[in-house]
Amino acid sequence: MASWTDGPEYAPTVRPTAFVAPVAGALVEPEPRQQADDAVPDAEPTFEPPTEPAPDLRELVPSAAPGRNPNLPFETITTPITATEDPPSGPRDPRLPFAEAGPPLSGYLAAPVQQPPPQVNPAPFPAPGTPQWFVPDPSQLFAPPPQVTIGQIWKAATNWVMIPLLIGMFFAAISPVALLVATVSTTQIVYRRKSVRKAAGIIWGVALALTVLTVFADPTAAFYDTLAIYSLVGSWAAAIAALAIVGSALRNGEPPDQL
């Protein structure tokens, strides 16, 4: 087995703390080889000639009979396999069928067995003309969305969000606080919570940004009074956005968000 002593390519990727020889058991000693047989004769083997008289070599020479002329065609010998009762007088036209038909095959081939029809999975197509053949009514394919009432939408939007927004929609003096409380209370909503929180945060940020721009443009304008006006408008926008987002989730049959 190669180790780091055989070259850098066998070195480990992580440097070990110490180089210790692995603990391994002793190798199994192989069995001793079998020694060749020492009983080999030292004398050269002898050859004894045959006792019978050898044949004359001239008798082994093949006869010099004339061979076959390659220019002549082969002569066929009639055998029982190729014999016919009335051999044709002339050459046979290969375009014509044989005069005699072969033996019948009824004794060699078994009678066909009627197999049962195979099981079709899934079921085969319905027969033409049956009610299943025609396209089903589109009203059966697409069920109408469930009817959602304003009470269900208000309950899903929670009073924690809608009541502060309702106060901020009509009372400008506390509308900034009401809009901020409603934005924080969006954690109580269980349908599209992230979308409602994002919409409320954007509306609160826009109201604050418009307030800063207005104060910089008109130094005589009071900061809180300007923020109250924009927050009142933002409360209306946040209430409409919350009801629309939650109502869309209820109409689509979406499950509540995981806490």
pLDDT by residue for the chain (259 residues), tens only, comes to 677 788 878 877 777 777 777 777 878 888 887 766 666 677 787 888 888 888 888 888 877 667 778 888 877 666 656 555 565 566 777 777 766 555 665 555 666 777 777 665 666 677 777 777 766 655 555 666 678 888 888 888 889 999 999 999 999 899 999 999 998 988 888 888 899 999 999 998 999 999 999 999 988 888 989 999 999 999 999 999 999 999 888 888 888 876 5
- Could you give the number of structural domains in the chain? 1
Can you give the pLDDT at residue 135? 63
Residue 220 lies in a domain: yes
Residue 91 lies in a domain: no
Token code pair at residue 118: 């195979």
Within 8 A by CB and 6+ apart from 68, the residues are none
Decide if 223 contacts 176 (C-beta within 8 A). no
Decide if 122 contacts 212 (C-beta within 8 A). no
Residue 31 lies in a domain: no
Residue 192 lies in a domain: yes
Q: Which residues span the domain enclosing 193?
A: 177-251
Of 246, 58, 85, which Cα lies nearest the Cα of 160? 246
Residue 42 lies in a domain: no
The CA angle 157-161-166, to the nearest 5 degrees, is: 105
Residue 129 lies in a domain: no
Of 163, 166, 169, which Cα lies nearest the Cα of 234? 169
Within 8 A by CB and 6+ apart from 225, the residues are none
Residue 51 lies in a domain: no
pTM: 0.44
Within 8 A by CB and 6+ apart from 11, the residues are 4
CA 253 – CA 148 distance, rounded (Å): 10
Decide if 234 contacts 137 (C-beta within 8 A). no
Residue 146 lies in a domain: no
DSSP string, 191-242: SSHHHHHHHHHHHHHHHHHHHHHHHHH-TTS-HHHHHHHHHHHHHHHHHHHH
